[in-house]
């Protein structure tokens, strides 16, 4: 059964060209997935460094954190395209497609929690994200269709965190405060908890034949 998130960006001309170029030059999907870990690590480091930095430096680091988080998503998009459309999949591709995502969640959301001065909030958002992904994979193992539903699936989490980071960068530069990032992480955590509950309810109904 296919385990692929439906994304409109996959059919964009730019993404198609990039994937075709990477496949033509022999870049493997696993290497792209591993590059995604690097992007997530740079995002997390940027967020971590933003804590305790001066207002202007913190603002710049928050922008970098958001940028690298988005580049991680670009890697997530391209690895699947090169594997499937480029026909360069590997026997261990499923491992590199899924497992690094959980580490990336920890690096990015955990780093954002540090930047907000509330590491526990970043860890809470990470745990909820991991539980939500695990639930999807558990359902798939039972034979259900992969559930990528929201309201706070991975693309939504990263979009909200990116917007919140950019808004916080402006807030920090102007006022030296960063409560917008705290509010963003709280929304991510609440939305991810709701996502888990909705996926769980759908899976239980499916298991019961409903």
Q: What angle do CA 76, 97, 139 make, to 5 degrees?
A: 115
**What average pLDDT is seen over the chain?**
92
Contacts of residue 155, defined as CB under 8 A and 6 or more positions apart, other chains included, come to 5, 7, 73
Contacts of residue 127, defined as CB under 8 A and 6 or more positions apart, other chains included, come to none
Confidence of residue 91 (pLDDT cuts 50, 70, 90): confident
| Phi-psi region at 143: left, alpha or beta (left = phi > 0; alpha = psi -120 to 50) | left
Pairs from 51-59 (Cβ < 8 Å, separation ≥ 24): 51/114, 51/115, 51/117, 55/172, 55/173, 55/176, 56/173, 58/115, 58/169, 58/172, 58/178, 59/169, 59/170, 59/172, 59/173
> The whole model's pTM is what?
0.93
Q: For 103-144, how does the pLDDT look when each residue is reduced to its tens digit (9 = 90+)?
A: 999 999 999 999 999 999 999 999 999 999 999 999 988 999
Indicate if the pLDDT at residue 177 is higher than 90: yes
Over residues 166-195, mean pLDDT: 97
Between CA 51 and CA 115 the distance in angstroms is 5
Q: For 51-86, how does the pLDDT look when each residue is reduced to its tens digit (9 = 90+)?
A: 999 999 999 999 999 999 999 999 999 988 888 776
Indicate if the pLDDT at residue 88 is higher than 80: no
Confidence of residue 194 (pLDDT cuts 50, 70, 90): very high
Task: For each of the domains in the chain, give its residue range(s) and CATH number, in order of start.
Answer: 11-207 (1.20.120.1760)
Confidence of residue 189 (pLDDT cuts 50, 70, 90): very high
Alpha carbon separation from 158 to 61, 80, 114, 119, 143 (Å, rounded): 16, 18, 17, 18, 28
Between CA 190 and CA 168 the distance in angstroms is 19
Confidence of residue 8 (pLDDT cuts 50, 70, 90): confident
Indicate if the pLDDT at residue 171 is higher than 90: yes
């Amino acid at each position: 059964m296919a385990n692929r998130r439906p994304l409109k960006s996959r059919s964009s001309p730019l993404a198609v060209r990039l994937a075709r170029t990477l496949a033509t030059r022999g870049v493997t999907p696993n290497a792209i997935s591993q590059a995604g870990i690097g992007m997530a690590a740079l995002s997390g480091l940027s967020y971590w460094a933003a804590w305790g930095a001066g207002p202007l430096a913190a603002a710049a680091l928050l922008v970098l954190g958001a940028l690298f988080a988005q580049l991680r998503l670009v890697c997530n998009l391209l690895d699947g395209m090169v594997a499937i459309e480029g026909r360069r999949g590997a026997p261990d591709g499923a491992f590199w497609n899924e497992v690094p995502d959980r580490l990336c969640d920890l690096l990015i959301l955990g780093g954002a929690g540090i930047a907000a001065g509330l590491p526990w909030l970043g860890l809470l958002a990470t745990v909820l994200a991991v539980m939500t992904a695990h639930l999807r994979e558990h359902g798939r193992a039972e034979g259900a269709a992969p559930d990528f539903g929201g309201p706070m699936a991975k693309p939504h989490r990263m979009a909200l965190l990116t917007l919140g980071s950019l808004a916080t960068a402006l807030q920090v530069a102007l006022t030296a405060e960063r409560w917008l990032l705290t509010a963003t992480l709280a929304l991510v955590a609440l939305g991810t908890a709701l996502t888990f509950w909705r996926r769980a309810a759908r899976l239980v109904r499916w298991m019961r034949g409903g």
